[in-house]
Amino acid sequence: MESNLPALVLGSASPRRADLLAQLGLKFQVTAADIDETPQLDEAPRSYVQRMAEEKADALADLGSSLLLTADTTVVLDEVSLGKPQDAAQARQMLERLSDRSHEVYTAVCARQGLCSETVLVRTLVEFAPLTPALIDAYLSTDEPWDKAGAYAIQGLAGSFVRRIDGSVSNVIGLPLVETRELLADFGLVAGLRGGRA
Ligand SMILES: Cc1cn([C@H]2C[C@H](O)[C@@H](COP(=O)(O)OP(=O)(O)OP(=O)(O)O)O2)c(=O)[nH]c1=O
């Protein structure tokens, strides 16, 4: 049976995305797409993440008949994208701005097989509690802010920053599981959901 299924490839260097995709109980291979992630002038964050997910798929165009899955996540505050912090000063500034208010997290997921391509965009609203300077200092002394959009990881210590969340948590971590499962089903790949270890 399994040999009739399309081979699934996750086009991502994010270990979080690989862990989330594994939760669907599907076998897949991982390969990273290296693209220029510079936003275009006046590009809206929603358009930006969709373009990024699709350009990651474009960059891995030679995967033959495999079903390719790529994604991009950004944190949005006042209509402005907060990407990954470049240094500690930028990470601090992001966390100060996120403190005591709500922001949006968008993830775009692109599934592509041959000429067939579908992209979904998922939004989660996250409200942070007030973050004191001491708390931000302590957080910056960990590894967590690095390589994360908005300089935080909801799945780690920053889980205690979150007062309220409206929407998908997996979307914030980098791959919305409901929408990804449904997207893969559109391409005939049904989540395994067998042999769980939880
Ligand atoms: C907000 C938030 C982001 N993140 C991560 C998810 C993504 O890995 C990262 C956003 O960067 P992305 O550019 O979306 O992804 P990536 O560069 O890590 O991987 P690739 O482009 O190869 O797929 O931030 C968390 O892990 N937890 C969080 O709470």
> What is the pLDDT, as a whole number, of residue 179?
98
Tokens representing 170 are 């997996």
CA 99 to chain centre: 21
* Average pLDDT of the residues of the chain: 94
User: Ligand 1, atom 8: nearest CA belongs to which residue?
Assistant: 14
Closest CA to 102 of 52, 45, 53, 167: 167
Q: Is 104 in the pocket of ligand 1 (CB under 6 A)?
A: no
Mean pLDDT of 158-170: 98
User: Ligand 1, atom 21: nearest CA belongs to which residue?
Assistant: 12
Span 30-47, pLDDT tens digits: 999 999 999 999 999 999
Q: Is 181 in the pocket of ligand 1 (CB under 6 A)?
A: no
C-alpha distance from residue 65 to each of 26, 58, 161 (Å)? 17, 14, 43
**Is the confidence at residue 198, as pLDDT, over 70?**
no
Q: 39, exposed or middle or buried, with CB in 10 Å at 0-12, 13-18, 19+?
A: middle
Domains of the chain by range and CATH?
A: 2-186 (3.90.950.10)
Q: Is 16 in the pocket of ligand 1 (CB under 6 A)?
A: yes
Greater pLDDT, 68 or 5:
68
Span 110-142, pLDDT tens digits: 999 999 999 999 999 999 999 999 999 999 999
